[in-house]
Structure 1
Amino acid sequence: MAESFGSGLYSCFNCRNRVSLHDDIISKDFQGRNGRAFLFSHAVNITVGPKEDRHLLTGLHTVADIYCADCHEVLGWKYERAYEASQKYKEGKFILEKAKIVKENW
């Protein structure tokens, strides 16, 4: 699977399972539970937890926590639904917390 990633990878900080590509970053200007977070268009090698409504800084969203598929560490969440029209662009996207991922192959 490593061959399909190339360079500019992000991996789980705990077990180094590859979870996304640098090219999949939409924005680095997000806030997670534990500080800065990045919005990604895609994430791999994760499992998605149950959906729940959460009041976030930008309003009410339906989200599901995402976990590393190998070590089950919570890495962030997936936006399932945004209730405000200005936030719809987040639907189907992933928040990965900066503290939970590491850069590899740079």
Structure 2
Amino acid sequence: MGRLFLVNLEGKVYSCKHCKTHLAVGDDIVSKSFHCKHGKAYLFSKVSNVTLGVKEDRLMMTGLHTVADIFCVKCGSIVGWTYETAHEKAQKYKEGKSVLERFKLSGPDGSNYWVSHETHIARGEQEEV
């Protein structure tokens, strides 16, 4: 695979909960109102230390989007997705931005977000993905 070069971020850093690799900073949060199958998710204007998966069209609660899953570059865990194309005019602001699932992250204070099984069942059909 070769040598792995990681970007170390400064400030309020969100990290991969598995390997602690820096993924994004709090100042780059666009919205905290996103949801996924594991609960809360945050929309970031930029993320670091991730690789992109295959682009695919997904029908989400806000319409059709072309997205690619994003993976932690160090451990390979899926941590969210990035919006390539929003097919509805009102959703164009998402293009080029990435969603990180809070369940997959350690917060700036080192905390992990855990969702209860009941919350997962109750919200499962309301989520964006």
Question: What TM-score, normalized by structure 2, do the two folds share?
Answer: 0.77
Give the distance between the partners of 2:38 and 2:25, measured in 1 at CA.
Answer: 21
User: Match of 1:86?
Assistant: 90
Give the distance between the partners of 2:27 and 2:72, measured in 1 at CA.
Answer: 20
State percent identity of aligned pairs. 47
Give the distance between the partners of 1:89 and 1:36, measured in 2 at CA.
Answer: 20
Higher relative contact order (CA 8 A, sep 6+): 1
Say which SS state the counterpart of residue 70 (structure 2) adopts: strand
Gaps of 5+ in 1: none
User: Match of 1:95?
Assistant: 99
Matched, 1:47 2:51: yes
Runs of 4+ in 1 over 6 A off after TM superposition: none
Gaps of 5+ in 2: 1-6, 111-129
Aligned residue pairs, count: 104
Question: What TM-score, normalized by structure 1, do the two folds share?
Answer: 0.93
Q: What value does the CA root-mean-square deviation take over the aligned residues?
A: 1.3
Give the distance between the partners of 2:79 and 2:10, measured in 1 at CA.
Answer: 22
- 1:57-96 aligned within 5 A: 57-96=61-100
Q: In the alignment, residue 20 of structure 1 is paired with which amino acid?
A: A
Render the CA deviation track for 1:22-42: whole Å, top value 9, x for unaligned. Answer: 000000000123111000000
Give the distance between the partners of 1:43 and 1:33, measured in 2 at CA.
Answer: 21
CA apart distance, 1:6: 2.1
Give the distance between the partners of 1:64 and 1:26, measured in 2 at CA.
Answer: 19
